[in-house]
Structure 1
Amino acid sequence: MTAGRGAAPGAGGPSPREPLLLGVRHHGPGSARAVLAALEAREPEVLLVEGPPEADAVAKLAAHEEMRPPVALLAHAVDDPARAAFWPLAAFSPEWVALRWALGRGVPVRFFDLPAAHSLALEGAGDGAGGGGGPEAGEREDVRLDPLRVLAATAGHDDPERWWEDVVEHRGGLAADPYAPFAALADAMAALREAHGDGGHRRDAVREAHMRLHLRQARREFGDGGVAVVCGAWHVPALTARTTVAADRGLLRGLPKVKTEVTWVPWTGERLARRSGYGAGITSPGWYGHLFSAPDRPLERWMTKVARLLREEDHAVSSAHVIEAVRLADALAALRGRPLPGLGETLDAVLAVMCEGSTVPLSLVHDRLVVGDELGEVPAQAPAVPLQRDLTRLQRSLRLKPEARERELALDLREEGAAARSRLLHRLALLGVDWGEPVEGRTGSTGTFRETWRLCWRPELSVRVAEAGVWGTTVAAAATARAEALARDAGSLAEVTALAEQCLLAGLGGALPEVMRVLADRAALDADVGHLAQALPALVRSVRYGDVRGTDAAALREVAEGLAERVCVGLPPACAGLGGDGAAEMRGHVDAAHRAVVLLEREEVLTRWRAALRSLAVRDRVPGLVRGRCARLLLDDGLLADGEAARLMGLALSPGTPPGDAAAWIEGFLAGGGMLLVHDGRLLSLVDDWLAGVPGESFTDVLPLLRRTFSAYEPGVRRTVGELVRRGPSGPGTGAARWEDAPGFGAGLDRERADAVLPVLRLLLGEGAFGAAGSGPGSRTDGTTEGKAATA
């Protein structure tokens, strides 16, 4: 191989007897245009591209009509799919342009970087001395030289992206000498490597030894002048260095190796910006893609794209805005001494003219256009694990197209298509492929017939699909096997019940027998009431989901009822003698178990549970936090007679009760919302009288507890309660009687106003919801209608 500057193109072009070494900036549109011009001028017989040699088998797919960049080469270890590396390529990547040029003309393409079999093995071994892992493989070097930043700093620029735009992206005249840019860049990199050595890229010595061996072989086959190389400019000096074959082979001797597979996967602009690969560090792939696709009048075309986007989002943007934005960008470039407006000037003009100074629409421009939300496409012929093929089939049949842009998907589970989509998303979540995330507050914690998902496909999910392939060849089979394994390895009863819920959500009837066996064994051996109460809600939700989704949940109902019975029996003794932290934890268990028992809709269990709550509400040995909460739950269910809640509160807040215990009772009773105080003047009066009677020396101990209780209320509720207390009662008397005439309180139920809501309730709930209570608005034969109206 010719050494030194002989292999680097000079001002008059490279010698036809030397290989064409095209050192590029990865993901640089200017480099891509220069590569295309140089290849068309030389027309080589073989093309060597930086990348894993295993990709030679799938290189021809780059010319497939269904291939749409951005895409990436994915290499992963067969026995450990989590050990993987990506080589991303955009439409403006020089490697992609060279690849498409060669395939379009029948020129052989060879990837000549270190094989992924070695680089992935070195990644797993943690050997920092070698390995060529992919650009996304996760470099571990602490200090790595950024050549672009050093060159920009040498030229007196503090922004390498801006410097690159000025000297490369906005540079014309490539047709006059297509080789000159590569000669200049090669000289610059040679100077950098002479000054900085490997620049912290310690693995490059092994990679470049492999590159030189492949370059020698290509030169023997096709002649020196028939070889073209496209690689990072940083490697060009190493490819022209004087070394021996024996020395290069010595560097490669003894490298670890793993069995690998390579394929193409879709990539995203956002992923290019976040970690662009190859150390390029670009932050605006959408902008670079525009510069590559619109070499003529790029500024005017860009402003037109921005205007179109803003109009689609209902922003008032006219053609006059576009004209003024172009003028302003040109003026800013002239003031800043730039040859053409760059991204900075362009965004400043967009902000000032089209966004009227608001950063909200500007952030939309950044996300959609500067970065881009495009997701590449890969043809079906690309190699893939069987699980990936089944997932692709399901995505097409269910019309769930993967998209890089985050979007929400609302599902009505009563529709078969929506139910099938829900099952797929839940199965993928069970496999660790979190394509979709349930939206809290919309899905509903009690399991209704509606679900809302937030979908966003990320490139790394392809690796997770490959990892999940060890569990099965289809999504259903893999999720079933995974669920059974998780059940056997679960560390607590709550984990098993949550898994049973997941199985029902995912429609994995085949996994339920194993999960239920483990669940029954764990439930029989676990005597901790807290564990049982934690496990009960997920199990009851599973029973409800079984009803909604048409799944047979009879076995789950039997286990759930058994757990509920054990909680009812074991809860009272478990609540005695608890400290502050234990009482707070037990209150959470009581709330969870109460919701679960009500949802279970089993009258015998509900009766026992209410009896347990009543016994806890009146026991002195039970902490005030738990007693107050049990009293509130009974009151909300209409199970405390008139005055009973007031009596219990009076006992808990009597002068003989320590202020700390009284405050804990109040916290338990008022937790979950303060509307009770707004609408019940008697209880508000009791709380007010107790608080006014707390001794001054104890008030500072009680105040933090009360603040914690009231801080959980909605601002409007706190404001209303405060206004009622500030305003005070308008009538005479003491105690609860003082509040009878206060604004907002009445002496009793206003039957006329209560009856007015009944017609609307009939429309919402149906006539059957009122039983035999009559049909007229005022019908009230046995109090049933009035009670249901008040409850609603």
Structure 2
Amino acid sequence: MRAALEEARPRVVLIEGPPEADALIPLAADEEMRPPVALLAHAVDEPGRSAFWPLAEFSPEWVAIRWALEHDVPARFIDLPATHTLAWGRQEDEAGVAGESPLDAETADSEGDSEPACGPEPASGPEPASGPEPACGPGPADVRIDPLGVLAETAGYDDPERWWEDVVEHRGVGKGDALAPFTVLEEAMGALRETYGSGGHDRDLVREAYMRLQVRAAQREFEDGVAVVCGAWHVPALRRKTTVAADKALLKGLPKVKTDMTWVPWTHRRLSRVSGYGAGIDSPGWYGHLFSAPDRPVERWMTKVAGLLRAEDRLVSSAHVIEAVRLAETRAAMRGRPLPGLSETTDAVRAVMCEGSDVPLALVEDRLVVGDVLGEVPSAAPAVPLQRDLARLQRRLRLKPEALERELELDLRKETDAARGRLLHRLRLLGIAWGEPAASRGSTGTFRETWRLRWEPELSVRVAEAGVWGTTVLSAATAKAEADAVTAQGLADVTALAERCLLGELPDALPTVMRILADRAALDTDVGQLAQALPALVRSLRYGDVRGTDTGALGEVAAGLAERVFVGLPPACAALDADGAEEMRRHVDAVHGAVGLLGDAPAAGQGHLRARWQSVLRVLSGRDTVPGVIRGRAVRLLLDDGELAQEEAARLMGLVLSPGTPPADAAAWIEGFVGGGSGGGMLLVHDERLLGLVDAWLTGVPVEAFTDVLPLLRRTFSAYEPGVRRTLGELVRRGPGAGTGATGAGPGIPGFAAELDPARADAVLPVLRLLLGLDEVAEDIGKDLVGVTG
């Protein structure tokens, strides 16, 4: 492209793209501009309706823009204005038209999803589309083809990119022949357009009519000094002789919508079709390398691959690099290719550096062939006020957006980390999912937070969309929280919102949310909804303490909500089917954990919450109308809290597992008592009385009922850890109680006596003191004392 422009020396460069972006072209010369970037257009009154025009450093459009700026040549965009593109997509949505408009191929909907169009590649190679490329296809309108794919298949290639490398990228042009590839491609596209027409997509004709009008206007102004940079598919249509009146007739009555446009950062991953957000190139990292390293590209590529693999602790030497280059060149020669392409270099890397394994090769393809390069946009680019405030906060908190996913560990006791956590929580509330919460490693304290950060280009759309709520992150999050509280569908949604308000420290929104929460809690009669809402409130109380937030009002609401759960839970547990009983069991577990966190806070003068909850569990454990899985779970919770003696738990289990109880009900009780990851396996290991009851019941289940209870029992015991299952198997094989003697005094576990052996216990003390460093501390203290007395 650059060579062609140098040879043609046009007086004006016309580029396929939205004309509203003409004022943004000078920013491409800014020192802070780093491709890949994209032009972003969005509807002013509906920011979520947007479209991107991605550009990489090697994109022909970007090369043309930079050449024009360097030579003081005017550059203009000539595609159909975005004001029509976005309005056209809105009309289709309102009409409920199935499928996606070819003009809206790069348009992100309100959820951030989009589908790539199967448009042709730009004239200089398989580059990012300069905008929403049209699709084309023979016959029916819903059949789309790739024009370069057709040319490649005609030439006997199964890969259009490999064909393009052979016929264009790897065959240099001599001086004075820079325009030859464009002439040949124009002839090929002319033949395709004669065969396939517009592919049944009438909007291509509208776009091309607008472009013809812009070309005519430029020719009147600059005569023959006009260069047009566009997708090769459009060239025959732009050459076609038509009247001005005919072109204007196609543009008459187009819908409009007020549009804003700016530059936004883009990523190589988003330029790749493998991302599901394709812009016309499979291997942006590879093509970026070819563009930036024209001298000895294969050798430089292999060196880059070796560096990546070494960073991942793979043993790769200089000899590997040399051998991989030789192998790639040999394969290219055997295939009749002028130079090694991506397929040859990939084969060589797999064979030499990866020792035939696809595992490290997948890393190379992800990090280098595709890549995670994130572009940068100068601060002078237009932006909504919310975007500017976010950029200011990112600089102040040293949170630079990055395309590569990374983990961020925060200590909320530190002011900077707490501010980072608040920002990420506020952005999540606004629908800007820059960070996703993750499980903290090495600490379970509430002063720790772990986030997975990854900046995706469409987050720029989410920022523009969230700009309707306010001009700063704080004001926008506050307004959004208040609006969400009013429109929340259920009580659990309001409680989750209250938790997010505390996490994001939104004191102005919390009174509104709390008022709505109290009103909903007073009117809601669904025990399941109340039980779902309580844990979120309790978590909010804990997080509020860490952040120093006043949660007094929240504690009162939580206590009142707990009381309503206590009153309504026993009746709600009656007459439930299997699925309903399992769901209610999960509610019981959630409420139990919440009450444990609340502690002994007074519940509006009705006694302590924990005592009230234990009385509810006793009621649940003793009612025959309550499903077995809930009764068993209630007994287990009481036993774990020390409110039920082991003898009483064994008695209740013996009653349930008696011959008079239906096997299915008994199996459900066992599931609630010792099932899943609740530590029931260890309970059976350490209490052979309970294990003996289960074993005796299981061996006594009638044959006709065994197949009915087997799936439930399998689910119960398969969740145990392998070591627990192995120990239980040994105990069952030996026979429960066999190791305890006639009196059954000992626990019956091999290697353990009935009483503690002091001699064996004391034997571990030296090792323990060594691990804790207690001997060194004592020695240091002794030296200090000697020094003082001496």
TM bucket, shorter chain = 0.7 to 0.9
Confirm or deny: 8 A CA contact 1:729 1:742 kept in the other structure.
Answer: no
Task: Give the deviation of 1:696 after TM superposition.
Answer: 2.3
Number of the residue aligned with 1:252: 251
Report 1:310-389 matches (<5 A): 310-389=309-388
Confirm or deny: 8 A CA contact 1:131 1:206 kept in the other structure.
Answer: no
Number of the residue aligned with 2:563: 565
Task: Give the deviation of 1:316 after TM superposition.
Answer: 1.3
Residue 57 of structure 1: which of 9, 18, 23 is its match?
23
Confirm or deny: 8 A CA contact 1:731 1:740 kept in the other structure.
Answer: no
Aligned-partner residue type, residue 162 of structure 1: R
Q: Do the aligned partners of residues 734 and 698 (structure 1) sit closer, same or farther apart at CA in structure 2, a change above 3 Å counting?
A: farther
Residue 3 of structure 2: which of 17, 37, 52 is its match?
37
Moved more, 755-764 or 523-532: 755-764
Aligned-partner residue type, residue 337 of structure 1: G
**1:695 paired to 2:702:** yes
Q: Do the aligned partners of residues 683 and 729 (structure 1) sit closer, same or farther apart at CA in structure 2, a change above 3 Å counting?
A: closer
Q: Do the aligned partners of residues 762 and 694 (structure 1) sit closer, same or farther apart at CA in structure 2, a change above 3 Å counting?
A: farther
Number of the residue aligned with 1:619: 623
TM (normalized to structure 2)?
Answer: 0.88
Q: Distance in 1 between matches of 2:100 and 2:586?
A: 54
Could you give the per-residue CA deviations for residues 94-119 of structure 1, whole angstroms, max 9, x where no partner exists? 11001001011111111000000011
Task: Give the deviation of 1:214 after TM superposition.
Answer: 0.7
Question: How many pairs were matched up?
Answer: 729
Task: Give the deviation of 1:134 after TM superposition.
Answer: 6.5
Aligned-partner residue type, residue 663 of structure 1: A
Aligned-partner residue type, residue 384 of structure 2: V
Residue 451 of structure 1: which of 449, 452, 458 is its match?
449
Confirm or deny: 8 A CA contact 1:91 1:97 kept in the other structure.
Answer: yes
Q: Distance in 2 between matches of 1:512 and 1:760?
A: 53
Number of the residue aligned with 2:179: 179
Confirm or deny: 8 A CA contact 2:11 2:74 kept in the other structure.
Answer: yes
Task: Give the deviation of 1:622 after TM superposition.
Answer: 2.2
Number of the residue aligned with 1:512: 510
Report 1:380-529 matches (<5 A): 380-440=379-439, 448-529=446-527
Confirm or deny: 8 A CA contact 1:686 1:736 kept in the other structure.
Answer: no
Could you give the per-residue CA deviations for residues 610-663 of structure 1, whole angstroms, max 9, x where no partner exists? 121122222333222111101111111122224121111111112221211111
Q: Do the aligned partners of residues 645 and 477 (structure 1) sit closer, same or farther apart at CA in structure 2, a change above 3 Å counting?
A: same
Number of the residue aligned with 1:541: 539
Number of the residue aligned with 2:86: 120
Aligned-partner residue type, residue 465 of structure 1: V
Could you give the per-residue CA deviations for residues 120-173 of structure 1, whole angstroms, max 9, x where no partner exists? 111111289988456456558632231100111111212111111111111113
Moved more, 748-757 or 343-352: 748-757
Q: Do the aligned partners of residues 347 and 230 (structure 1) sit closer, same or farther apart at CA in structure 2, a change above 3 Å counting?
A: same
**Structure 1 counterpart SS, 2:48:** coil
Could you give the per-residue CA deviations for residues 365-392 of structure 1, whole angstroms, max 9, x where no partner exists? 1111101110000001100111111111
CA root-mean-square deviation = 2.7
Q: Distance in 2 between matches of 1:481 and 1:756?
A: 64
Aligned-partner residue type, residue 572 of structure 2: A
Number of the residue aligned with 1:783: none
**Structure 2 counterpart SS, 1:737:** coil
Q: Distance in 1 between matches of 2:600 and 2:161?
A: 67
Number of the residue aligned with 2:651: 647
Q: Distance in 2 between matches of 1:495 and 1:239?
A: 55
Gaps of 5+ in 1: 1-34, 766-792
Q: Do the aligned partners of residues 71 and 129 (structure 1) sit closer, same or farther apart at CA in structure 2, a change above 3 Å counting?
A: closer
Number of the residue aligned with 1:731: 738
Once the two structures are aligned, what percentage of the paired residues are identical? 73
Report 1:281-296 matches (<5 A): 281-296=280-295
Moved more, 650-659 or 417-426: 650-659
Task: Give the deviation of 1:590 after TM superposition.
Answer: 0.7
Q: Distance in 1 between matches of 2:634 and 2:764?
A: 30
Aligned-partner residue type, residue 64 of structure 1: D
Q: Distance in 2 between matches of 1:507 and 1:103?
A: 47
Aligned-partner residue type, residue 700 of structure 1: T
**1:666 paired to 2:670:** yes
Task: Give the deviation of 1:748 after TM superposition.
Answer: 4.9
Q: Distance in 2 between matches of 1:463 and 1:735?
A: 75
Confirm or deny: 8 A CA contact 1:685 1:736 kept in the other structure.
Answer: no
Number of the residue aligned with 2:234: 235
Residue 689 of structure 2: which of 676, 682, 687 is its match?
682
Aligned-partner residue type, residue 704 of structure 1: P
**1:215 paired to 2:212:** no
Q: Distance in 1 between matches of 2:340 and 2:420?
A: 47
Q: Distance in 1 between matches of 2:769 and 2:503?
A: 32
Q: Distance in 1 between matches of 2:565 and 2:742?
A: 39
Confirm or deny: 8 A CA contact 1:114 1:132 kept in the other structure.
Answer: no
Q: Distance in 1 between matches of 2:31 and 2:294?
A: 24
Could you give the per-residue CA deviations for residues 437-456 of structure 1, whole angstroms, max 9, x where no partner exists? 11147599x97111111111
**1:111 paired to 2:77:** yes
Confirm or deny: 8 A CA contact 2:270 2:277 kept in the other structure.
Answer: no
Q: Distance in 1 between matches of 2:755 and 2:508?
A: 57
**Structure 2 counterpart SS, 1:84:** strand
TM (normalized to structure 1)?
Answer: 0.88
**Structure 2 counterpart SS, 1:509:** coil
Q: Distance in 1 between matches of 2:359 and 2:412?
A: 36
Moved more, 433-442 or 538-547: 433-442
Number of the residue aligned with 1:298: 297
Q: Distance in 2 between matches of 1:760 and 1:117?
A: 76
Q: Distance in 2 between matches of 1:759 and 1:460?
A: 60
**Structure 1 counterpart SS, 2:230:** strand
Task: Give the deviation of 1:750 after TM superposition.
Answer: 6.1
**Structure 2 counterpart SS, 1:203:** helix
Number of the residue aligned with 2:579: 581
Could you give the per-residue CA deviations for residues 267-311 of structure 1, whole angstroms, max 9, x where no partner exists? 000000037999863110010111111112111111111111112
Confirm or deny: 8 A CA contact 2:657 2:666 kept in the other structure.
Answer: yes
Q: Distance in 2 between matches of 1:196 and 1:259?
A: 35
Number of the residue aligned with 1:271: 270
Q: Do the aligned partners of residues 220 and 556 (structure 1) sit closer, same or farther apart at CA in structure 2, a change above 3 Å counting?
A: same
